[in-house]
Structure 1
Amino acid sequence: MTAVPDFPRVTVTIHPDASGEVTIQGISHPIPARADIRAARQAALGMVTLRAAIALGRPVRVTAHDPDGTWPLIVHPDGHVTAADIDHSPAGPASDRTFRLRTRDGRTSEPTRSALIGRNPQPAEGETVQTLFAIYDTGRQVSKTHARLDIDDRGSVTVTDRDSTNGTAIRLHGTRRPLRAGASLVLPHEATLLLGDLELVVELESPSEE
């Protein structure tokens, strides 16, 4: 496993009242009080994922403090959190993993390794994709071809904005990160994909789950 640099310096502090803060290179980002310590911890690590790991495109080291103790962690761009001395790899044959798309009204796609999503998604000339997932959107928040998703051989899903009108964003435990037009980001586990204001859930699957 490639060594994870000590930069940037990231600390997470969760207080007994389930509030907390994330400090990245001396800049503090408050975490409002949550229902319990676990929820506050998830919110803080979600912020680290979006503001540090994804921003840098690599894992980052975190020193976490909460009422249960203090320990070193590594936060990965795909949202996985591991102990600093553990080499984490997703369980199962990642190269065979797929994902499903699910709308809030319950519509789902077939398992796939690549998808275009939008009101009437169409591939560009010469582009190949397994799934075209049309989203019913009377409010026209979603562009005709809004975004593309791909899963790599490690089981990480990347979302790419297709110069959409209302933008694409990722929300994880209350923290929202927009994509620049045409840009790509790794989609963390448990994150919600936002197409304008419309929510889309991406569910990872292993071959044994199909």
Structure 2
Amino acid sequence: MNATQPVVGLHRVPDWPRVAADVAENGTGTLTINGVTRACAAESVTALRTGMIARAVAIANQLRRPIRLDVTESGQTHALAVRPEGHVQLIGADGSIPAPDGLSVDEGRCRVCRRLQPVTSTTCVQCAVDEPLRVEVSPPAEPNAIIPPTAVPVTRPRAVELHELDELHEVEHTRISRRSAAPPAPTLHLAFNTQASVDTGAHIVIGRNPEPVAGRETLTVATPGRMLSRTHATIDVDDAGQIVVTDLDSANGIELQSAPPQWLTPGEPTVIPNGATILLGDVYCTVTNGGGVSSPLR
């Protein structure tokens, strides 16, 4: 595996998605997500910070891992890690964060009813408004759409942009079309060197005798040399239809059979090409998206 093993308790925070917050003393600012900037405002600087953290928590929950948030205030920029559980930590010089032992979760007041609640709240516990801590002046049309960088085109013709604007003007017709034409359910096709191929749903956990992970279905795989860990990895189809593999700190790791081969970082979700082969311990597995796109795990 890697020449240097990760330090126990440390977690490296990926640079993607790119999320940055600018905070002004008058309670206004901006929040930039993957190059798209939106104006923000709150009754105080404290409320503004809390609302920006809540937005970062929502993104972290979608990706099921900590994300990086660069906050600029009073001329200084701080690199923070925001966890799905609401914990906020400074990112070290090596790009990693320790376990969030002893950290508390920030709270803010609902923008409608003023009920105090944690930054992890997606719906107000009192008035049931969505995004109760939102500080963005104009909420995004699809607030949960965080597309992995491999799915984002480098350039986009002007004609496509105009077409997309036309679609936005016809949003009601689009909603009706989406209701009447549901996309096919996503599936995975897994081909092994140790057993017969298997078709599964879009979210699985794989191993020698795996434990369930966050509602995923379990898949037991034959491992002649017992190099496959009991609970080795998760394999998911994300919202963009991409295949995402996560090494669950397995003993023998996961190697993507690319040119050159690439070891996956333990604990970090990694997008692999459709039809790619991975080596899990002593088991080769070719993973194919059987069709459709996925929805987040509940």
Q: What TM-score, normalized by structure 2, do the two folds share?
A: 0.37
Say if 1:96 and 1:153, in contact at 8 Å, map to a contact too.
Answer: no
Aligned to 1:58: 149
Kindly indicate whether residue 283 of structure 2 is the aligned counterpart of residue 198 of structure 1.
Answer: yes
Q: Which one of 121, 128, 133 corresponds to residue 215 of structure 2?
A: 128
Root mean square deviation of aligned Cα: 2.9
For the residues of structure 2 that align with 1:169 and 1:94, how far apart are their CA atoms? 32
Letter in 2 for 1:178: W
Q: Give the 3 Å change call, closer, same or farther, for CA 166–58 of structure 1 in structure 2.
A: same
Cα deviation code 1:100-143 (max 9, x no counterpart): 2221245122331111111001125xx211x2111111211100
Where do residues 50-199 of structure 1 align in structure 2 (5 Å cutoff)?
58-59=149-150, 96-124=185-213, 127-129=214-216, 131-172=217-258, 174-199=259-284
Q: Which stretches of structure 1, 4 residues or more, deviate above 4 A after TM superposition?
A: 82-87
For the residues of structure 2 that align with 1:155 and 1:95, how far apart are their CA atoms? 11
Where do 5+ consecutive residues of structure 2 fail to align? 1-33, 36-147, 161-181, 293-298
Say if 1:157 and 1:187, in contact at 8 Å, map to a contact too.
Answer: yes
Q: What TM-score, normalized by structure 1, do the two folds share?
A: 0.51
User: Which one has more relative contact order, counting CA pairs under 8 Å at least 6 apart?
Assistant: 1
Say if 1:100 and 1:109, in contact at 8 Å, map to a contact too.
Answer: yes
Cα drift, residue 189 of structure 1: 1.9
For the residues of structure 1 that align with 2:250 and 2:237, how far apart are their CA atoms? 21
For the residues of structure 2 that align with 1:162 and 1:94, how far apart are their CA atoms? 30
Cα drift, residue 95 of structure 1: 6.8
Q: Give the 3 Å change call, closer, same or farther, for CA 100–118 of structure 1 in structure 2.
A: same
The number of equivalent residue pairs is: 125
Where do 5+ consecutive residues of structure 1 fail to align? 4-56, 60-75, 88-92
Cα drift, residue 206 of structure 1: 2.1
Larger Rg: 2
Say if 1:94 and 1:155, in contact at 8 Å, map to a contact too.
Answer: no
